[in-house]
Structure 1
């Protein structure tokens, strides 16, 4: 048995990394119930709690100027074998403070192994010196996990030792609600049957400009039979920029003209899975920020529902492009999205069959399998 500590956000914090970590530790406990797991979380978790056999300690602030509190907490729990940082720049900022804290913990023998999962990797063309500096310094840790080939090779190009990089795909949760009757799903999601007609299109996740929702609405507006479909846009507003606000105003205006249901709230993973079970087609019309690589957690929640997906050809959806290239269109091209969506509707059964490779990938990347790969890596780093 070994002791494992994650540094990560954790539910109820409204954050994709929080949901990721919860899925991972749940799978780890099912594979190895003897492993002692602590999560040193953000202070949105107000008090210490025991969640599913995992001890959650609220320790750090978002983008803190110091992470001494992490060292103090590691001392209180008597040290651990593996310290695993679930890194996202929106949580820890564009600096190396969290890396220095993790390495200091190792120097003080509070941990034996330090592992980072980079959920975002910046390209030099981003001009983001803080992120690029952190990425160069990661040769000092025991392993760096990424979720895609693009992220892996970009880090190699920036000088990271290839032996340190491990590509472990984002985990996939197979949807347990696929057999749930439609009326029950609608009731649990607080949606009305009378508001939904024709083909049901769903796009879940945070409502931000990078989700391309304005482009999706433009593409639907271009269709001849737009009255024979319902678009459900669901997620929490993230109005961090003027562009975000303008996009949301555009959505609200479109709701007056098109059959759009806007569910404006934070969605739990369970609610996203229920929406996916309700959908006929799941659409992810993303427009990625330049010079930034990541993968989509929403994609993995969606493809575990075995429904046709339609997305854009962007780094965040590299797995969709890899396993179902005909299910992707160029970004920022609403006319092309309209054309492909029209074809989807006319050839629905064909697209279900075409998605077989993606569905197989969903099964191969189930969380329990990704948990086993993490355990294997932890053992390797401890052995060396």
Structure 2
């Protein structure tokens, strides 16, 4: 059985959310990869009902805490061959509700694939995007909860082998219950994206993109840039993204970073975009960048969408030596730094800017990683996973009625 009707459960545009952006790229890639596929996005986001050929959006306003009771019947009504849920703790929480949603789908005979965009352990500290939605690990047996998800889903997808898949296997899930499929990379054609007015024409131009929160480590980036900019009067640091915390604390943090730059004498070389950045502007910034900073100070076992956006733009990325950037560690460990050491970051960037041989050497593995994770490749891996799960469900049919395998095995 080939999975042709796919229902994706996820946040979606117009929400400013990394999962929503990921889903839009995945859906476009699936539709482009197989002309027989139909995709429906069932979303709790403030989306508008929409249908365009083989693609449609079905908003489900979720009221109160009982989202399984509201989502499950709408998903079932789309009559999918397979359901693909984009899971993030900041969206679904870490209580009995998400396993209950999976059980409801299984009882309806609907095979479910779950992409866990973040994996935790009992030692996790950082919450990723969950902190902005009130998610907390306090009192949560998180490893047991993740095991329950894996036992009820037809298949779990994660983005990293060592830091995510192997972690879930260590927590008790069988090897065939979890598959690693990388985050996709959107490739920008050289010269196809012009320079946006809000992106400075610095030389060098250093870019610190993404959803801004304290763990993005902007103060350390500014300290490093002050060292890099010494003797480089034309250098510019562009900080662009979306301020996740729009409250007093978020504003105070961003203002303190700007003041830090002014005290360091680089205020005129810092450009901060405080409003959400469009796809076109972000693409222009990444394509123009000499170096892109992803030096987050967080321990989340997740993936960086901005890393892949930068790879697709042909940028050189400097990142933290943390589980989030395992992909980069595997192809070019020399581009990783301790996120608490601005001097180390500055020395690495100076070498990238000044050493032509080193710069060429680190660009080669980045290009290879970008090709290996191109969205068409990632879409095909997803279609293969869907078919595997759909066939497994058909294989357990007994007496004409589907008997869903809750463990996925």
Q: TM-score if structure 1 supplies the norm length?
A: 0.90
Corresponding residue of 1:283: 293
Residue deviations 1:283-318 (CA, integer Å, cap 9, x gap): 112111x4x300101000001122222122111111
* Partner-residue secondary structure (3-state), 1:202: strand
Corresponding residue of 1:250: 256
C-alpha contact 2:62 2:70 (8 A) present in aligned 1 = no
Structure 1 residues 184-263: aligned runs within 5 Å: 184-185=194-195, 189-191=196-198, 196-223=201-228, 224-239=230-245, 244-254=250-260, 256=262, 257-258=265-266, 259-263=269-273
Which whole-Å CA distance do the structure 1 matches of 2:251 and 2:232 have between them? 25
C-alpha contact 1:48 1:58 (8 A) present in aligned 2 = yes
Which whole-Å CA distance do the structure 2 matches of 1:297 and 1:91 have between them? 17
CA gap 1:131/1:272 in 2 versus in 1, 3 angstroms? farther
Q: How far does residue 66 in structure 1 lie from its aligned partner after superposition?
A: 2.7
Residue deviations 1:61-93 (CA, integer Å, cap 9, x gap): 49943321212213433x211011100011111
Alignment pair present for 1:380 and 2:380: no
Residue deviations 1:138-159 (CA, integer Å, cap 9, x gap): 2222110000021011101110
Corresponding residue of 1:148: 160
Corresponding residue of 1:118: 116
Which whole-Å CA distance do the structure 1 matches of 2:75 and 2:210 have between them? 34
Corresponding residue of 1:135: 146
C-alpha contact 1:42 1:62 (8 A) present in aligned 2 = no
Show structure 1 runs of 5+ residues with no match. Answer: none
CA gap 1:271/1:73 in 2 versus in 1, 3 angstroms? same
Corresponding residue of 2:319: 311
C-alpha contact 2:8 2:86 (8 A) present in aligned 1 = yes
C-alpha contact 1:5 1:37 (8 A) present in aligned 2 = yes
Find 1:15's aligned residue among 10, 14, 17: 17
Show structure 2 runs of 5+ residues with no match. Answer: 126-136, 393-409
Which whole-Å CA distance do the structure 1 matches of 2:61 and 2:143 have between them? 23
Q: How far does residue 3 in structure 1 lie from its aligned partner after superposition?
A: 1.4
Q: How far does residue 134 in structure 1 lie from its aligned partner after superposition?
A: 2.4
Between 1:266-275 and 1:226-235, the stretch displaced more is 266-275
C-alpha contact 2:183 2:305 (8 A) present in aligned 1 = yes
Q: How far does residue 106 in structure 1 lie from its aligned partner after superposition?
A: 1.9
CA gap 1:205/1:38 in 2 versus in 1, 3 angstroms? same
Residue deviations 1:208-229 (CA, integer Å, cap 9, x gap): 1111111000111234325231
The answer to which structure, 1 or 2, has the higher relative contact order (CA under 8 A, 6+ apart) is 2
C-alpha contact 1:62 1:92 (8 A) present in aligned 2 = no
Residue deviations 1:363-382 (CA, integer Å, cap 9, x gap): 11111111101111111111
* Partner-residue secondary structure (3-state), 1:248: helix
C-alpha contact 1:17 1:86 (8 A) present in aligned 2 = yes
Which whole-Å CA distance do the structure 1 matches of 2:112 and 2:81 have between them? 9
